[in-house]
Structure 1
Amino acid sequence: MVTLRIDRDNMVSSSEIVRNFSEMLDKTKETPLFITRNNDIEAIIMNIEEYEILLEKIEFLENQLESTHIEEIIAKRKENFELKDAVSEKEIMGRK
């Protein structure tokens, strides 16, 4: 699990969000806001552009992991591959 580094200036109580929503929304253009309730961080409000960048990074990393996993499977199959076990083109095409 990742540990968040949070600047106290970016922590806002849920009641303050309710009272000053428009102002707080403008503030998210500069930095994400960590919303607290009973002194516990409950949520984060962030600028939509930052959120989209975050989603793009997640998608990129997921694709990288998938590619790595596929490469590992192929490498394992190649280790155990013997030509005598190969299927001929005719067999693949349904002709014998």
Structure 2
Amino acid sequence: MTILRIDRDHMVSSSELVRNFSQMLDKSKEGPLFIMRNNDVEGIMMDIEEYEMLLEKIEYLENQLEDSYIENAVKDRKENFSLDETITEEEIMDMLD
């Protein structure tokens, strides 16, 4: 797992960001910049390719989580399946009418 390091080289004040936007944009390609306001991190500026990569990772992990949930639900239903609780095709058709 990648740990986000916040060091002084990657911290920038919001006023400095405004004054030197072009430079800060170039610097963000080296690593994310943490935008400070009143000594608090208020935002982050990062390279678009890194951002897109993060979105892809999030989507992948969400899909993995969803797949795992479905697998567990199917497994649980198989383990707890009982013919006594099933309904017939006729009963289904009656419910749809």
Same fold (TM over 0.5): yes
CA-atom RMSD in angstroms: 1.9
Residue 66 (structure 2) aligns with: 66
| Alpha-carbon distance between aligned partners in 2 of 1:21 and 1:15, rounded to the nearest angstrom | 10
Task: Note if 1:37 corresponds to 2:37.
Answer: yes
**How far did residue 82 of structure 1 move?**
3.1
**1:1-96 pair list within 5 angstroms:** 4-83=4-83, 91=89
Identity rate of aligned residues, in percent?
67
- Taking structure 2 as the reference length, the TM-score comes to 0.82
Structure 2 CA distance for aligned equivalents of residues 37 and 83 of structure 1: 64
Give the superposition deviation at 1:4.
Answer: 4.7
SS of the equivalent of 2:41 reads strand
**TM-score, reference length from structure 1:** 0.82
Which 5+ residue runs of structure 2 have no aligned equivalent?
Answer: none
CA distance in 2, matches of 1:40, 1:84: 61
Question: How many residue pairs are counted as aligned between the two chains?
Answer: 90
Any gaps of 5 or more consecutive residues in structure 1?
Answer: none
